[in-house]
């Protein structure tokens, strides 16, 4: 499965949200699995979107045929668009499905990992971080993806802000030490996203 992460800064909120409805057209696209997104809690005006495709071939076909028509309605409503593609390596918890209807909050972590530490980083995600997140009340599901150049995405979906907040305050520092995170990672950027139900496709 291919995971697409998009981030932009919205300059015309009403126009952007109106245009967002057009993405319902994704439902007819071969290989499309789901899309959701919302507003950054820490950065005013910043939006994160996550889209899921069965394969790169289906995604490339959509980009060549239908993407520009769907995107046209949001032209001029945002700036600084950044898009990254990741191949799913494994699930956080089990049986990941790209569904957002039961989710209030997404947590995204984007990690650039030292090349010689990439294997260790993946192993620690599987053996240390995943069990801790999977055992946290309110953590519904997640996905761990990889892009060329030792770049990784960890996306987790939570049923409430409160439950995610508890996990953050209680666990993260201790887990980071156990996983030797500082030795693995050259840069890490993250955000907490308040999901917009109306944007779910």
pLDDT tens across 137-190, in order? Answer: 888 999 999 999 999 999 999 987 766 666 665 677 788 888 888 899 999 999
- Which stretch of 21-30, 49-58, 108-117, 166-175 has the lowest confidence by average pLDDT? 166-175
Per-residue pLDDT at 191 exceeds 90: yes
Q: Is residue 51 within 8 Å of residue 27, measured between CB atoms?
A: no
CATH number of the domain enclosing 130: 3.30.70.100
- How far CA 4 is from CA of 33, 55, 168, 172, 175, in Å, comes to 11, 11, 25, 26, 27
Domain total of the chain: 1
Structure confidence by residue, pLDDT tens digits, 33-90: 999 999 999 999 999 999 999 999 999 999 999 999 999 999 999 999 999 999 999 9
Mean pLDDT of 8-23: 96
DSSP state of 50: E
**Residue of higher predicted confidence among 180 and 31:** 31
What was the pLDDT predicted at 166? 66
pLDDT of residue 167: 65
pLDDT at 198: 95
Cα–Cα nearest to 13, from 201, 199, 157, 161 = 199
Q: Which domain holds residue 43?
A: 2-199
pLDDT score, position 40: 97
- Alpha helical stretches, state H, the chain: 13-20, 56-65, 67-71, 118-124, 130-134, 161-178, 181-184
Query: Is pLDDT above 90 for 197?
Result: yes
* Contacts for 123 with CB less than 8 Å, ≥ 6 apart: none
């Amino acid at each position: 499965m291919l995971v697409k992460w998009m981030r932009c800064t919205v300059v015309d909120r009403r126009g952007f949200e109106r245009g967002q409805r057009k993405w319902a057209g994704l439902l007819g696209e071969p290989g499309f699995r789901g899309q959701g997104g919302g507003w950054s809690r820490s950065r005013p005006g910043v939006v994160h979107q996550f889209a899921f495709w069965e394969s790169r071939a289906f995604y490339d076909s959509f980009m060549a045929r239908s993407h520009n028509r769907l995107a046209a309605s949001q032209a001029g409503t945002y700036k600084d668009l950044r898009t990254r593609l990741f191949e799913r390596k494994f699930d956080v918890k089990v049986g990941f499905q790209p569904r957002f209807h039961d989710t209030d909050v997404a947590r995204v972590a984007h990690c650039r990992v030292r090349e010689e530490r990439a294997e260790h980083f993946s192993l620690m995600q599987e053996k240390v971080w995943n069990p801790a997140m999977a055992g946290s009340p309110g953590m519904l599901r997640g996905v761990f993806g990889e892009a060329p150049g030792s770049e990784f995405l960890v996306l987790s979906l939570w049923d409430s802000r409160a439950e995610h907040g508890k996990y953050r305050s209680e666990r993260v520092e201790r887990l980071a030490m156990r996983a030797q995170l500082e030795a693995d990672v050259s840069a890490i950027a993250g955000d907490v996203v308040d999901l917009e139900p109306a944007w779910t496709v």
